[in-house]
Chains A and B, each alone.
Chain A
Amino acid sequence: MTALAASVVEELRRIAGRDSVIANADDLRIFERDASIEGAMPDAVVLPATTLEVAAVMKVAAKHGVPIVPRGAGTGLSGGAVTIRGGIALQMTRMRHILDIDPVAQTALVEPGVVNQELSLQAAAHHLFYAPDPSSQKACTIGGNAAENSGGPHCLYYGVTTNHVLGMEVVLADGSVHWVSGDAPDHVGLDLCGMLVGSEGTLCAITKIKVRLLRIPPSIATLMAAFPSIETASHAVSAVIGRGIVPAALEMMDQMTVGAVEAHYRAGYPTDAGAVLLVEVDGIPESTRELMSAIRAVLGENHGYAMREAQTQAERDLLWAGRKGAIGALGRIKPNYYLHDGVVPRSRLPQVLSAVGEIGEHYKLPVANVFHAGDGNLHPNILFDLRDKDVLPQVEGAGEEMLRAVIELGGALSGEHGIGLEKSQFMPWIFDADDLQAMQRVKVALDPAGLLNPGKIFPDPERAKVHLAGRTGFAVEAKWW
C-alpha cells in the first residue's frame, strides 16, 4: 500500500509506461536503501527512459508536492539515494546508453545510467579511458558519480569527477530541462555545471553527461611495498610527494585489511606488515622507469621493504583487485561494515589513524583501514555483525567519534562519498550558520518547494536535537574554516 494517491501513480504510469512504475510494497523494498546503513521505503519507483519522461515525472512531483529522489545503482555510501521522506525514487538505470564517443575531441556523451567501468571499456577501442575510478566502478553509474562528485584511487593525479565533466543536461525541480556548460571552455555566465556536480540529487536530476576522456598511458608501473607500521608508511607517502612526485595512485591498507585481502585474493600481500602501500605511476616508459626508481629509493629510505613491482598486466590486476575488493574481503572477519570517508591534511594521517584505532578499541569493534593515502582520504571500516544485539548504536557512536577526530585535525566530513543522510547532522561541525545559509540560498533558488532529495546535506532540525547537544561549531571557532 503506498501513500501516493492512486491517481498520481496512474499519472506516472501514463508517462513512463505501466512496466516502468513500481508501487507494490514487496517490489518497492528493493529500493529501500543504498550501500549505507539507514533505509526508508519510497512510495513509488519510476524508471524513465528519456529526458522528457524525467521532466514529466518531475512536473508530477511538483504538482502534487511529492518528494523525488534520483537514484543510480544504489552503491552510494552516505544514504544519498534513500527516500527518507518517501515519495518517488527516480531510478535512472534504464537510461544506460553511451550516446557518443568522439575519439578526436576525446569526449563521451553518456546517459546517467551508464556503468562507470563500461565507459572505460568502450573507450579503450580508441585508446582512451575515463579517469575517475571509484572502487564500485563495476556497478556504479556515471550519473551517480556526477551527483556525488565521486573520486577513486587515481584521482590523486587525475582529479575527481568534477574535473572531468564538461557539461550536463539536467532537469530542475520545476521540470525544466537545461544544458549546463559543454564542449567549449569558459561558458559565459555562472558555472552552473560546476555547482551541480556533487549536489547529491538535491538540486537537479542529471539526464546526460559530457565527459572528458584521456589517452591510455603507454606504460604503467605498479609497486607494492610493506611497512612496519601505518606511521612509517604515512611518512613515506609524504616523502614521495615531498620529492616532487605525484603518482597516479597512492593507496594504503592496514594489517587487518591486508590479512583479509590476502586470504581472499592471494595477491602476494605481506600479511606480517603493519601497512602496505600500493603506488602506481604512468606515462611513457622512460618516465615510469625514472619515477619508479626514485620512488623505490624514497620508500627504502623510509622503512619500506618487500617491494614488489607488478611484472605483467595480470599481476597488476591482481594487486588492484585486492585493493578495490578490500571491503568485500573484510566480510571474512564480520558480515557487516560501516565505512566513513573523512579527509585530513595528509600530514595528519598518523594522528588520525591512531585516534581511529583507539576509538575502535574503546567500542570493542574491529576497524580495518583502507584508504587513499596520497589525498589524506581515510576509509575506516568498522566491522560488526548486525545479528549482535544493540551493536548498531555502538557502531554509529564509533563512526561519529572518528569523524570528530577528523574534524579536530582540520579535516572534512567526506572526501568522496557525500554528506547524504548519514552526515547531514554533522555539517555544523565544519560550517557555521552563515555558511549553511549561503548554501541554502542555492537550494531555495533552484528548488523552492524542497522536493528534490529532501533531508540530505543540510541538518534536519528534528534529527539534530538527538545528535548535536552542545557541539555545534567547535571546528568553526577554532579556525575560520
Chain B
Amino acid sequence: MVVRTLAIEKPATEQEVAHVLRESSEAGKAVVPVGGGRASGMGGVLERGDVELHTSALDRVIEHSPADMVVSVEAGITLEALQAELARSGQFLPIDPFGSPGHTIGGLLATGWSGPLRFRFGSARDFLIGIRVALADGRLASAGGRVVKNVSGYDLMKLHYGAMGTLGVIVAASFKVFPKPLYDVTVESGDGWAGVERALATPMAPVAVELFSTGRVLARFFGSPDAVKKTAAGLGWETADESVWREHSKAAPERWARIATPPASLRAVLESLPAKATWWASPGVGVAHWSFEDAGELAAVRGAAEAVGGSLVLMAAPDEVKRQAGAWGSPPSTLDVMTRLKDAFDPHRTLNPGRFVV
C-alpha cells in the first residue's frame, strides 16, 4: 500500500469549503471531509484521497433561541460545546453517541452514529430541522429551516444524514432541542434479557435500556419526579449514578461493528456471536455494537443480521479487515436509485470515493 500525505484544508467559512470542493472537483482530486475524526475508521477503504477537508474552524453557534427551542450551528462545533450552550437555558439535544467525546455535529450527521437515548428520542435524523451543505460543484444549498415543523420542499436533511459526506459537505445544521428532563433516574441490574423485558414493559416507558454482554442492564427514566420514582422503584433494581452514561458513551474499540436488526430479532442475532464476545445493545431500538476480534467472525453474524432484514456495518477496523469482510455488507436492493442520486450530486466522485455504498 502506498502511503501518501493528504493536503490539509481548514476553511474558516462555508464559502471557503465550497471553494475547496469546486477546485478539487475541477482538478479531479478526491476530498475526505473530517469533523472530529471520531468516525475516521468507518466505511470502506478510500479509492483515492488527495485533500483532507477539516470543518474544525467552522465551530460557531449561529443562533440559539431558547424560547423557540431551536438551535443553528456550524458543522464543526463539537457535541459537547453545543450541549454546554444549550444547558445554559436548561435545554439539551438528546444524542449520546458512542465514541464520545469529540464528535462534531457535522460528523454525527454524516455518519448517523447514535446512542442509548435513541430509544425515546430517535436519532439526530428525527430532530434535524434544517441543513446547509457545500456541494461538489462549489454551490451552497440549504433545505428545511429553523422551525420545528416544516414541509416546505424536499427533506434533503434525510438524504445527507448518514451519507458519509458523499453527496456534499455539511456546513451548518438546525435542530429542534428539548427541555432537560424534570427528573432523571437510572437503575441497573444483572438480569440480562429478562431484565430488558421487564424494563421495556414498565407502564412509563424508559428513555433508554442498555444491555451488556456481561448481563448488566441499565434503564433510564425521564419525567415528573413522582412518576419516575415510582416506576424505577417498581423494578426493584439498584440506583446507578448518572455518570454511567458518560462512561458508556466513551465506548469505541479499535475493531467494532454495528449490528442493526428489527428489535424483535436482535436477541437471536446476538446469540450467533462467539461465546465470549464483548458487545452492548439497545434492544428496544434494535442496535448492538460488537467489539470483534477476528475478521473471520464477521461473515456468519452479518449473514444472520441480513437474513432478518438487518445489517452489520464496520465502525472501525484495519484496512485489511475492511477489504476482506467489506465495510457495509450486501449492497442494498435500491443501489441503482442511490447511484442516480450520487451522480446528481457528485458526478466526478470527488467526495470520499470508495468509502460508502455509492
Q: Which of the candidate stretches A136-144, A177-185, A258-266 sits at the interface with the other chain?
A: A177-185
- Determine if B286 and A184 form an interchain contact, defined as CB atoms under 8 angstroms apart: yes
- Assess A415 versus B264: contact at CB under 8 Å? Given A188-B329, A430-B145, A438-B135: no
Interface contacts (Cβ under 8 Å), in number, total: 257
Report the minimal beta-carbon distance from B66 to chain A, rounded to whole angstroms.
Answer: 8
A155→B308 CA distance, assembly (Å): 31
- Assess A178 versus B334: contact at CB under 8 Å? Given A284-B204, A375-B148, A437-B139: yes
CB of A163 within 8 Å of the partner chain: yes
Q: For A417, list chain B residues within 8 Å (CB).
A: 151
- Assess A242 versus B147: contact at CB under 8 Å? Given A185-B287, A481-B142: no
- Determine if B227 and A195 form an interchain contact, defined as CB atoms under 8 angstroms apart: no
Q: For B157, list chain A residues within 8 Å (CB).
A: 194
- Determine if A427 and B149 form an interchain contact, defined as CB atoms under 8 angstroms apart: no
- Determine if A186 and B313 form an interchain contact, defined as CB atoms under 8 angstroms apart: yes
A419→B310 CA distance, assembly (Å): 35
- Determine if B227 and A290 form an interchain contact, defined as CB atoms under 8 angstroms apart: yes
Contacting B at CB under 8 A, from A212-243, are 215, 218, 238, 241-243
- Determine if B223 and A416 form an interchain contact, defined as CB atoms under 8 angstroms apart: no
CB of A151 within 8 Å of the partner chain: yes
- Determine if A190 and B341 form an interchain contact, defined as CB atoms under 8 angstroms apart: yes
B262-283 near A? 1/0 per residue, CB < 8 Å: 1111000000000000000000
CB of A469 within 8 Å of the partner chain: no
Report the minimal beta-carbon distance from A112 to chain B, rounded to whole angstroms.
Answer: 18
- B148, B163, B258, B261: most-surrounded residue (chain A CB, <10 A): B148
CB of A199 within 8 Å of the partner chain: yes
A77→B265 CA distance, assembly (Å): 41
CB of A457 within 8 Å of the partner chain: yes
CB of A162 within 8 Å of the partner chain: yes
Q: Which of the candidate stretches A93-101, A117-125, A405-413 sits at the interface with the other chain?
A: A405-413
Residue in B70, B163, B204 whose beta carbon sits within 8 Å of that of A283 in the complex: B204
A442→B143 CA distance, assembly (Å): 13
- Determine if A414 and B227 form an interchain contact, defined as CB atoms under 8 angstroms apart: no
Report the minimal beta-carbon distance from A319 to chain B, rounded to whole angstroms.
Answer: 22
Contacting A at CB under 8 A, from B135-160, are 135, 139-159
Report the minimal beta-carbon distance from A216 to chain B, rounded to whole angstroms.
Answer: 11
Q: For B262, list chain A residues within 8 Å (CB).
A: 105, 182-184
A345→B64 CA distance, assembly (Å): 12
- Determine if A415 and B226 form an interchain contact, defined as CB atoms under 8 angstroms apart: no
Residue in B130, B225, B226, B334 whose beta carbon sits within 8 Å of that of A481 in the complex: B130
- Determine if B227 and A287 form an interchain contact, defined as CB atoms under 8 angstroms apart: yes
- Determine if A480 and B337 form an interchain contact, defined as CB atoms under 8 angstroms apart: no
Q: For B162, list chain A residues within 8 Å (CB).
A: 186, 190-191
Q: For A418, list chain B residues within 8 Å (CB).
A: 151
- Determine if B141 and A188 form an interchain contact, defined as CB atoms under 8 angstroms apart: no
CB of B236 within 8 Å of the partner chain: no
Contacting B at CB under 8 A, from A244-301, are 244-246, 283-284, 286-287, 289-291, 294
CB of A347 within 8 Å of the partner chain: yes
Report the minimal beta-carbon distance from B62 to chain A, rounded to whole angstroms.
Answer: 8
CB-based nearest B residue for A215: B205
CB of A6 within 8 Å of the partner chain: no
Q: Which of the candidate stretches B2-10, B22-30, B175-183 sits at the interface with the other chain?
A: B175-183
Number of B interface residues in the complex (CB < 8 A): 92
A22→B261 CA distance, assembly (Å): 44
- Determine if B311 and A286 form an interchain contact, defined as CB atoms under 8 angstroms apart: no
- Determine if A151 and B149 form an interchain contact, defined as CB atoms under 8 angstroms apart: yes
Q: For A289, list chain B residues within 8 Å (CB).
A: 226
Q: For B345, list chain A residues within 8 Å (CB).
A: 438, 441
Report the minimal beta-carbon distance from A77 to chain B, rounded to whole angstroms.
Answer: 11
Residue in A286, A344, A419 whose beta carbon sits within 8 Å of that of B153 in the complex: A419
Residue in B67, B70, B144, B328 whose beta carbon sits within 8 Å of that of A188 in the complex: B328
- Determine if B159 and A195 form an interchain contact, defined as CB atoms under 8 angstroms apart: yes
Report the minimal beta-carbon distance from A359 to chain B, rounded to whole angstroms.
Answer: 20
B25-64 near A? 1/0 per residue, CB < 8 Å: 0000000000000000000000000000000000000100
A289→B227 CA distance, assembly (Å): 9
Residue in B62, B152, B231, B342 whose beta carbon sits within 8 Å of that of A430 in the complex: B152
CB of A159 within 8 Å of the partner chain: yes
Q: For A193, list chain B residues within 8 Å (CB).
A: 158
- Determine if B148 and A442 form an interchain contact, defined as CB atoms under 8 angstroms apart: no
- Determine if B152 and A412 form an interchain contact, defined as CB atoms under 8 angstroms apart: yes
Q: For A83, list chain B residues within 8 Å (CB).
A: none
A434→B147 CA distance, assembly (Å): 21
Report the minimal beta-carbon distance from B308 to chain A, rounded to whole angstroms.
Answer: 7
Q: For B178, list chain A residues within 8 Å (CB).
A: 246
Which 9 A-B pairs have CB atoms at the shortest separation, nearest pair first? A194-B158, A287-B227, A438-B141, A183-B262, A345-B68, A290-B224, A244-B179, A184-B310, A481-B142
**10 additional A-B residue pairs with CB within 8 Å, beyond A162-B158, A415-B149, A481-B132:** A163-B122, A178-B333, A184-B261, A184-B286, A184-B311, A185-B260, A345-B146, A345-B147, A412-B145, A445-B343
* B residues adjacent to A (C-beta < 8 A): 62, 65-70, 90, 112, 122-123, 125-126, 130, 132-133, 135, 139-159, 161-163, 167, 172, 174, 178-182, 203-205, 223-227, 230-231, 258, 260-265, 285-287, 308-311, 313, 328-329, 331-335, 337-338, 340-345, 356-358
* A residues adjacent to B (C-beta < 8 A): 104-105, 148-149, 151, 155, 159-160, 162-163, 172, 178-180, 182-195, 197-199, 215, 218, 238, 241-246, 283-284, 286-287, 289-291, 294, 343-348, 372, 375-377, 410-419, 423, 427, 430-432, 434-439, 441-446, 457, 480-481
Sample (29) of A-B pairs whose CB atoms are under 8 Å apart:
A182-B309, A183-B286, A184-B308, A185-B286, A186-B260, A188-B329, A190-B159, A191-B125, A192-B337, A194-B155, A195-B159, A244-B181, A286-B224, A294-B224, A343-B150, A345-B70, A346-B69, A348-B68, A375-B148, A412-B150, A417-B151, A419-B153, A431-B153, A435-B141, A438-B135, A439-B154, A439-B156, A480-B62, A481-B142
